Amino acid sequence: MLKDFFMGLSQNQFLNSTAKKYGLKMGAQTVVAGTNIDEAIKSIKELNSHGISCTVDNLGEFVFKEEEALAAKENILKVIDAIHSNNADAHISLKPTQLGLDIDYTFCYNNLKEIVHEASKYNMFVNIDMEDFKHLEPTFDLLDALSVEYDNVGTVIQAYFHKAIEYLEKYENYRIRLVKGAYKESEEIAFQDKKDIDKNYIQLIEWHLLNGKYTSIATHDHRIINHVKEFVKKHNIPNDKFEFQMLYGFRRELQLKLASEGYNFCTYVPFGNDWYGYFMRRLAERPQNLNLVAKQVFNKKTNTILGVAAGAFMIGRMTKSQNKKRK
């Protein structure tokens, strides 16, 4: 129920617009590295000082206007330039819908190609994030097309999909980030039970560590992390074949610990004004994350917007329920 609640909020355009007006006052400042490039670079350099690399996401998704997609492209190009000019240890993560995938495939491809080309000048990697299921195949198509000319591009495989191992086998020669999955999908295409997802996730990690090019293991679960440590030791997998990844603002002590132990570690650093959907999905995929932002969220300034959010979501649920009864 709580997961459905936050997923519902993540897709509410009115609340997304309202959240932008409030800046990061909903508690998101704990998990989003500012609203501009300078703030993001400052956070990246601080992480770099501890031996942690970063993947940078200029937040934005589900864009339906060409001018917005073009603006997003220009912002990402500026991020690439800022990473290079500041000699930061970082690369790019982006979402195809931010660059116009819902507008036109070719339009999105051209935007993405310009970004990948620019990043290639600096030997910088570009990770194409996966979104919901309806964008899965078009995103793979983008990866296939770009890979004809460029080798600095990879993507994400989501463990909750039944066919995740098939996707992984197809792209074994790519740098792949493995995640559990953060979108709400139907049981026909995705596992619903956490135990099933975790089991599949571990199987994907093990397979790619043994067969893949480079594996980014994106999890905050210390049990899975400990399992990976034992697995790579048992199979003599060198540290330069994989990295651990976590989100900015989560389990910082564990991030520092893993880096100090000599493991490659990468922090996913999101920034920008369009932070709302990202923030809500982080709460949806792990409701315990509320503990990290409770002090910021439950105060006088933000009770209003959360109250509006909760009210809007519950009204929506009640309306759907009433409509079903009428039918």
| Active centre residues (catalytic) | 129, 177
> What are 130's two structure tokens?
């996966």
In angstroms, the CA 69 to CA 58 distance is 12
The single-letter DSSP state of residue 16 is H
In angstroms, the CA 56 to CA 237 distance is 27
Could you tell me which of 142, 52, 147 has the C-alpha nearest to residue 95?
142
In angstroms, the CA 307 to CA 20 distance is 16
Is residue 128 helix, strand or coil?
Answer: strand
User: Three-state SS across 265-296?
Assistant: EEEEEEECCCCHHHHHHHHHHCHHHHHHHHHH
The single-letter DSSP state of residue 297 is H
Could you tell me which of 281, 309, 315 has the C-alpha nearest to residue 297?
309
> What are 276's two structure tokens?
């709302």
In angstroms, the CA 76 to CA 83 distance is 11
- Which residues have CB under 8 Å from 28's CB, separation 6+? 275, 276, 279, 293
The single-letter DSSP state of residue 213 is S
The half-sphere exposure of 65 on its side-chain side, counting CA atoms within 13 A, is 3
Could you tell me which of 86, 143, 150 has the C-alpha nearest to residue 118?
150
**Residue in this structure with the two tokens 């400052």, named with its chain if needed:** 42
Q: How many residues does the chain have?
A: 327
